[in-house]
Amino acid sequence: MKIHRYIQYACRPGIVKTAIKVALIVGTILAVINHGDSIVEGTMESGDWLRVALTYLVPYSVSTYSAVKVLQRAADA
């Protein structure tokens, strides 16, 4: 039951929109820090691009998780 409620909260348009914004900003900063040289030099390989994608997934997941936990705590109060 908790997983169902988590998914309901995580799919709310406001949470998704905010998480995407956070992922784009934080993910881009992290991607440039971690892979900027390779991107500029054009030496990125398929595994590197997968790591870049995961770089964006992490802040999206953290933002979503944080927002959902706030909503769950408010609902339980």
- What are the sequence ranges of the domains in the chain? 2-76
pLDDT band at 2 (very low <50, low <70, confident <90, very high): confident
Residue pair 67/16 in contact by the 8 Å Cβ criterion: no
Token pair listed for 25: 């900003």
Checking if the pLDDT of 1 tops 80, the result is no
* CB-based contact 13:76 (threshold 8 Å): no
Whole-number Å distance between alpha carbons of 75 and 53: 33
- Mean pLDDT within 22-27: 98
Which of the four pLDDT bands, split at 50, 70 and 90, describes residue 77? confident
Region of 43 (left: φ > 0; alpha: ψ -120 to 50; beta: rest) is alpha
2 three-class SS:
helix
